[in-house]
């Protein structure tokens, strides 16, 4: 069975290296804005940015994608801002952005599953309307639009290093065009760091093809749990684990992108593949299927598990693109060996070839 979840990115040597200082030079290759503030989580990074914008810049109404992760909406509400939803599928819709801009003080772009919309056009529209642009790069570290890094189009960008993200462990990061005053928060409790370290050590066994079926119910149960706010400051140890991984992030990103390109080239046209651009983060292969459950079960019988992002929701009725995205998406992580990608191609082509 080829499982849908991403193999976690931290290794045992990252845990050991984090007992010593780590250089930040690699960070600047993926994060464009000059001022950086580490936080206990990506969702707390977003809340802090929005709270700062509300107090310092008078931001009240913020455009929020109607389909994205639940923690995004939680952060918006906890910041005291009012969400104004714009319709979108997995990828932000340019037409819907133009509709919402006259109604908001700030616009939040979330790069769902690592896919990037037409950011040059969006950034120019925000500038014309004097709307503050905030980028949620939690799943798009290192992605680009027309050779410009995401996170560099707006005034603020947030990043997440949760265990399933582009660089995984725990913690978050704010990048800003200008200096910010961040309130002092309690440090991330050591139990979160311990849990991330335990997962790193156990990953070899958890994701073993022979043992995964025994651990799979535990993973599903964890994915269904309500996300915690994680209103904490950073952990210096967790930050060093992330920075040590960042030194090899270019290679991780290259693996994902090569796999994404190879899939697009080799999959037959009847596979309902969400096709992004070559500079996306390549975090997931995404299928959009109206008969999702039937397809999911059929593919699993053939030896490949496609997942559903259980924390991603359509937040408001009447947003048809968001509703379809919630009901139809299937995902498969792309950080895996080429031999697995070839097997996935064979299975998908056989299945969809038989459906013609």
Q: How large a percentage of the chain has pLDDT more than 90?
A: 87
Contact call for residues 175 and 153 (beta carbons, < 8 A): no
pLDDT at residue 77 in the model: 97
- Give the range among 65-69, 152-156, 195-199, 237-241 with minimum mean pLDDT: 195-199
pLDDT at residue 1 in the model: 80
Chain segment 166-217, per-residue pLDDT in tens: 999 999 999 999 999 999 999 999 999 999 998 888 776 766 666 666 656 6
Domain residue spans in the chain? 249-354
Q: If you average pLDDT over every residue of the chain, what do you get? A: 93
CA distance 93 to 352: 28
pLDDT at residue 207 in the model: 65
pLDDT tops 90 at residue 232: yes
Predicted confidence band at 228 (pLDDT cuts at 50, 70, 90)?
confident
pLDDT at residue 95 in the model: 96
pLDDT at residue 215 in the model: 56
CA distance 356 to 38: 51
Predicted confidence band at 355 (pLDDT cuts at 50, 70, 90)?
confident
Chain segment 109-147, per-residue pLDDT in tens: 999 999 999 999 999 999 999 999 999 999 999 999 999
Report phi then psi at 184, rounded to 5: -75, 125
Q: Which CATH number fits domain 249-354: 1.10.287.70, 3.40.50.1370, 1.10.1060.10, 3.90.1150.10?
A: 3.90.1150.10
Predicted confidence band at 229 (pLDDT cuts at 50, 70, 90)?
confident
pLDDT at residue 221 in the model: 58
Mean pLDDT computed over 310-337 = 96
Predicted confidence band at 348 (pLDDT cuts at 50, 70, 90)?
very high
Q: Where are the extended beta strands (E) located within the chain?
A: 35-39, 61-65, 67-69, 82-86, 106-110, 132-136, 144-145, 148-149, 156-160, 172-176, 284-288, 312-314, 329-333
Report phi then psi at 226, rounded to 5: -70, 125
pLDDT tops 70 at residue 356: no
Chain segment 270-318, per-residue pLDDT in tens: 999 999 999 999 999 999 999 999 999 999 999 999 999 999 999 999 9
pLDDT at residue 163 in the model: 87
pLDDT at residue 128 in the model: 97
pLDDT tops 70 at residue 13: yes
3-state secondary structure 248-293: CHHHHHHHHHHHHHHHHHHCCCCCCECCCCCCCCCCEEEEECCCHH
């Amino acid at each position: 069975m080829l499982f849908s979840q991403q193999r976690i990115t931290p290794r045992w040597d990252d845990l050991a290296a984090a007992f010593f200082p780590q250089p930040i030079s690699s960070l600047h290759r993926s994060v464009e804005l000059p001022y950086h503030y580490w936080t206990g989580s990506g969702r707390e990074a977003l809340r802090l940015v929005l709270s700062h914008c509300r107090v310092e810049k008078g931001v009240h109404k913020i455009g929020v994608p109607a389909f994205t992760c639940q923690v995004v909406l939680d952060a918006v509400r906890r910041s005291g801002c009012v969400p104004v939803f714009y319709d979108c599928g997995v990828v932000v819709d340019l037409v819907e952005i133009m509709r919402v801009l006259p109604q908001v003080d700030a616009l939040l772009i979330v790069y769902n599953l690592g896919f990037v919309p037409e950011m040059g056009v969006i950034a120019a529209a925000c500038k014309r309307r004097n709307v503050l642009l905030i980028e949620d790069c939690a799943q798009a570290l290192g992605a680009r639009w027309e050779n410009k890094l995401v996170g560099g189009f707006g005034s603020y960008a947030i990043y997440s290093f949760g265990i399933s993200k582009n660089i995984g462990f725990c913690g978050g990061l704010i990048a800003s065009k200008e200096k910010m005053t961040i309130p002092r928060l309690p440090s991330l409790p050591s139990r979160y760091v311990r849990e991330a370290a335990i997962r790193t050590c156990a990953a070899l066994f958890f994701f073993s093809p022979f043992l995964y079926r025994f651990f799979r119910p535990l993973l599903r149960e964890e994915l269904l749990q309500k996300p915690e706010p994680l209103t904490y400051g950073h952990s210096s140890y967790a930050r060093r684990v992330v920075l040590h991984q960042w030194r090899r992030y270019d290679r991780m990103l290259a693996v994902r992108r090569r796999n994404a390109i190879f899939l697009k080239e080799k999959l037959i046209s009847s596979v309902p593949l969400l096709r992004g651009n070559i500079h996306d983060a390549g975090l997931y292969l995404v299928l959009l299927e109206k008969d999702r459950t039937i397809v999911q079960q059929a593919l699993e019988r053939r030896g490949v598990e496609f997942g559903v992002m259980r924390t991603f929701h359509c937040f408001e009725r009447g947003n048809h693109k968001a509703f379809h995205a919630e009901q139809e998406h299937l995902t498969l992580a792309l950080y895996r060996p080429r031999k697995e990608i070839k097997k996935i191609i064979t299975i998908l082509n056989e299945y969809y070839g038989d459906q013609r």
